[in-house]
Structure 1
Amino acid sequence: MAGGNCLDGGASNPRRYRIRYSVYARCTQAASSPIGRNSRAVPSCGVRHACPSYLSENRALRSARVSDCAKGSSAVKSRGRQWIDQTLTHIAIIFAMGGLWSCITSSGIKPEASMIEPTSLDVGDAIRASARSDAKWPSSEWWNGWNDGQLDSLISRATSGSPTLAIVRSRVTAAVWEARALHANQLPELDSSADIAHTRFSQNANPSPPGGETNWNNSVALDLTYDLDIWGKNRAIEQGAQSKVHAAVADEQFAKIELQAAVARAYNAFALQYALADIYAEINQEEKRNLEIAASRKSAGIDTDIDVTQARTQYQSGLADIIRTRDGIEQSRLLIAYLVGEGPGFGASLQRPLPYGRFGSAVPASLPAEFIGHRPDIVAQRWRVTAASKEIDVAHADFYPNIDLVASASLQSLVPFGGFFSFVNSDSFGHSVGIAASLPIFDAERRRGKYGVATAEYDDAVLKYNDAVLLAMREVAEQVTALRSLEDQELSVDSAVESSKRSYELANSGYRGGVTEYLDVLVSQKIMLQQQINLALVRSRQVDSWIALMKALGGGFDGDTGRSNMISGGSNAP
């Protein structure tokens, strides 16, 4: 290597360059220096600027690097323009889809009914006259005003063991599970699948391979689906289901109060039969004595067979009345046993009810404003109105596109016999991610029809709510009016009972003294008996009306807390 300032001998490959520099005057051998894409070669002689070969090589490297950068920049710009074009295309498609689905609308369909405001109703003179500021809403144990431990036990047994109430509770459970199931619509759904098959492919139906071959056709996959719920359809479905749960809970409370009232009414009828039995037994004793007197007078030649026959007929009729009331007592026992969820034999253990006192007709002064929250049937209907409104939202969401996010990952292989596990490796892996959309364009007004049905059902729920409010107000007014009337009736009938007793005593003593005829005794006795029965019926009706008033006022239900009011002393009984 002689005969010049620099002798160049080099070799190169795609990844590495080697350049040899020699300087005749100062170097006795060549020096090697590796040069990468991002490095610069420096001659061992240290003469960088004086070596033409060095300068030429580095200019070539720099030119190559600039060319590569230019090509990369051009590729990036090309990909950017492609992405922008695709994005604009997608946006244009979306706007075009919007123009298509705008052809299906819900215009012209809307609810027409509106809910009644209870404070706007005229409660009437009867309720206004009975309203008192110190009157409380019924407590959850309103029957304690009866002061009968046996009744307390019966109602407690009924609320825990009645099949009727258990049926209503099962509806609550079903509503809760339905709400949970519908809540799942808002969450992603992940499914897995596996197919393991030893398959021979038909040579006449498939190209070869795999036609004419027997292969393992195996796959394992995971599929993810997520409804983006952009228009809130799934949320409305879940909220509607939750409203139905609230309605079912309120229905359960209403059924519980109805059952409590039914047990109390049956117990009151049980007490009435005992009261009537006492009246008939007392009268029958008088009839027996009159029969004995008539027989004695006939023996003495004072009376005739007619008087004896009349006395015997009256006595036998009284026995029939006693037998009839005994049957009424047994029927009441059977009814109570059924209501508390027990067999017929349970009624035989019931004792005679304790005497009941007087019950007032006062109602809370806040009746119109707070009435809705204390009636579980009205609360239930109000929740059904809410559920119906959510059905409108669901039907309205169907007018818009449904967009789902979908993704899948799988391991798949199709290999000859003997490669069973060949699908369990990275080369068999595949995946996909994307969206799935459905767009309403033309449905022959199917969606408008469903939306119209939803709005009509909402109107139906509102009208039923209004009817429930009016019916509840009527029930309160009826029972308040009845209680006030029965109070006056009791005073009048009580006076009539005393007067009829006096008349009977005079007629009976006159007959025994031979002053009056037995017909006078029969007439006065019939009047006295009827007045005593009337008094027993009036007092029983008072209790029935008071029970109905407690039920009409909500039976202790408190809609603000969703449960019965457990505050002590909340009974409406004075």
Structure 2
Amino acid sequence: MPGLPSCRKTLPHAGLAGCALALTFTLAGCTMGPDFARPSPTAPDDWTSWSSADESLRARVDSEGKLPAEWWRALGDPVLDQLQEEALQASPDLQTAALHFAQARVQRSTVAAQHGPDIGASGAVSRQRQSEYGAGVRMIDAIGGDRSALVDFLSEPFTLYQAGFDASWEPDLWGRVRRSIEAADAGVAQQAALYDLARLSVASELARSYIELRTTQRQIRLLREDLSALEGRLRILEAMVRGGVVDHLDLERQRTEVAANKAQLPDLLAREGAGINQIALLLGEPPGALRELLVSKPKEGQAPESPLPDLSLGLPSEAALRRPDIRAAEARLHQATASIGVAQAELYPSIRLGARFGYESYLSGEFADWGSRSWSVAPSFSLPLFDQGRRRSVVHLRELEQQEAAVNYQQTVLKAWQEIDDALSAYTAEQQRMRQLTMRERSAREAYELAQARYDGGVIDFIGVLDSQRAYLQARRDLAVSEGRLATRYVMINKAVGNAPAVQSSLP
């Protein structure tokens, strides 16, 4: 090949082993393939410049600090804190991601082992007999003489004792092993990022499922309170009908309202059970294992207007680097780039240096004698000449995979900013919606109380009471749903900016 030194001209008296060593040291340090250049993810200057939402939905974000790693504690629920600690230890999804990370580290160690020589020891004791007509006695027939005596001696059974050491080493002439280690390191980084992504996903999914469960339970509690009030009113109307104060029409209307509200309870109870099962699945528990813990009632009272902390997300560029999926995409691009060098190195010749030293004897008493020693030095040279373009096709394939990884990286960055923008807009929209629903609930309560007083005074009929009652009950339930949805939006913001919880235990 052009550019390679001539071994015979370099070391004319060194022999084959010296020629191989000369070529090895001459080519040492050569590395094929492109070097990886870490991409800088694009990011806006501030949190509101990249947004598709209306101006009224631009979130107020502090760029000086960042949200705490244990962001779920801002919800102020000790049960959720306990579940998060258990999930980060026992989640099957998290255990799977940790095992993938451990496999990547072992794979890296396996690849790195190719840098050093292979050394082994062997030993054997065998009982043998040669054929009287085998290849070993062919020379006797050619020479002539007393064939019978010689053949009897050679074919007599004997014991052969062997022991020795073998060593072989393939110099990394073209950087194949170096690029393989680089790719393996990138694989470890990718699995580490995916492990962070798994922790973030588990924490986010658990918080979301828990908030939805508590919202459902609050709806159940509100519905039962409403049913209790409606049934109490029903009993009063029944008494008034018996006393002839009112006719049956108001009574039947109240019975219809009670039945309509009771019909909503079974579906809410089924949603409560499904929510408990979802949380149990995230923790690797069987159905029903967490019911005793999770059937406690939600906190009484209305949530304050601003129950969650201010959004301190740090600089936008830092958030992009913090997201685990972006780090995983970058590592995948690094791995694909290094794999090109591995494939290109296969196009060039390889040298393997081998040596053996040992003892061999058919006499047990002479086995340790210096004269029983045997040794060999065996350098080998391999040059690919023609494989119908297979190796070059592999190089082209690796280049295409690198291009795919680069496109995937850019797509991951764009998707990240889409999720961040959507999460911030949804959070701000839900804040505004909850403020309006709070005002609606307050007004509906006052309207219901006023309608009840006017009905008792004979000013209006029972239709007005039912309408105002129905509006008040619906306003209470809508406000409860909005409070839960706002907490869920807070969870999605932490997930969108890659706010993964801290590692609670060492990886395997």
TM-score of the pair, normalised by structure 2: 0.82
CA distance in 1 between partners of 2:15 and 2:320 (Å): 56
Q: Which amino acid aligns with 1:366?
A: L
Q: Residue deviations 1:36-63, cap 9 Å, x none?
A: xxxxxxxxxxxxxxxxxxxxxxxxxxxx
Change (3 A) 1:131 1:441: farther
1:13-24 to 2 correspondences below 5 Å: none
**Match of residue 192 from structure 1:** 121
User: Among residues 494, 498, 502, which one is paired with 2:446 in the alignment?
Assistant: 502
Offset at residue 120 of structure 1 (A): 6.6
Offset at residue 185 of structure 1 (A): 0.6
**Match of residue 393 from structure 1:** 341
Offset at residue 245 of structure 1 (A): 1.3
Q: Which amino acid aligns with 2:12?
A: I
User: Among residues 233, 236, 242, which one is paired with 2:185 in the alignment?
Assistant: 242
Q: Does 1:84 align with 2:28?
A: no
CA distance in 2 between partners of 1:82 and 1:499 (Å): 98
Change (3 A) 1:497 1:307: same
**Match of residue 318 from structure 1:** 261
1:167-566 to 2 correspondences below 5 Å: 167-205=96-134, 206-207=136-137, 208=150, 211-343=154-286, 344-350=288-294, 351-354=296-299, 357=304, 358-359=307-308, 362-364=311-313, 366-367=315-316, 369-413=317-361, 415=362, 419-556=363-500
CA distance in 1 between partners of 2:449 and 2:44 (Å): 57
Q: Contact conserved, 1:204 with 1:211, CA < 8 A, in 2?
A: no
Identity rate, percent: 23
Structure 2, unaligned stretches of length 5 or more? 1-7, 24-31, 138-149
Which SS does the other structure have where 2:445 is aligned? helix
Change (3 A) 1:86 1:255: closer
Offset at residue 194 of structure 1 (A): 2.3
Offset at residue 244 of structure 1 (A): 1.0
CA distance in 2 between partners of 1:297 and 1:334 (Å): 46
Change (3 A) 1:263 1:177: same
Q: Contact conserved, 2:58 with 2:428, CA < 8 A, in 1?
A: no
Q: Which amino acid aligns with 2:107?
A: E
CA distance in 1 between partners of 2:73 and 2:205 (Å): 15
Q: Contact conserved, 1:410 with 1:430, CA < 8 A, in 2?
A: yes
**Match of residue 14 from structure 1:** none
Q: Which amino acid aligns with 1:281?
A: R
Once structures 1 and 2 are overlaid, which stretch shifts more, 475-484 or 485-494?
485-494
Structure 1, unaligned stretches of length 5 or more? 1-79, 96-105, 558-562, 566-574
Which SS does the other structure have where 1:159 is aligned? helix
User: Among residues 166, 176, 179, which one is paired with 2:95 in the alignment?
Assistant: 166
**Match of residue 103 from structure 1:** none
Which SS does the other structure have where 2:69 is aligned? coil
User: Among residues 43, 46, 50, which one is paired with 1:123 in the alignment?
Assistant: 50
Offset at residue 184 of structure 1 (A): 0.8
Change (3 A) 1:115 1:460: farther
Offset at residue 271 of structure 1 (A): 1.9
Q: Which amino acid aligns with 1:503?
A: A
TM-score of the pair, normalised by structure 1: 0.73
Offset at residue 302 of structure 1 (A): 4.3
Change (3 A) 1:345 1:365: closer
Which structure's CA Rg is the greater one?
Answer: 1
Which SS does the other structure have where 2:67 is aligned? coil
Q: Contact conserved, 1:131 with 1:363, CA < 8 A, in 2?
A: no
Q: Residue deviations 1:378-421, cap 9 Å, x none?
A: 112211111111111101111111112211112223x4xxx234
Q: Contact conserved, 1:115 with 1:466, CA < 8 A, in 2?
A: no
Change (3 A) 1:339 1:347: farther
Offset at residue 375 of structure 1 (A): 0.8
Which SS does the other structure have where 1:449 is aligned? helix
Q: How big is the alpha-carbon RMSD for the aligned residues of Structure 1 and Structure 2?
A: 3.4
Equivalenced residue count is 464
Once structures 1 and 2 are overlaid, which stretch shifts more, 516-525 or 242-251?
516-525
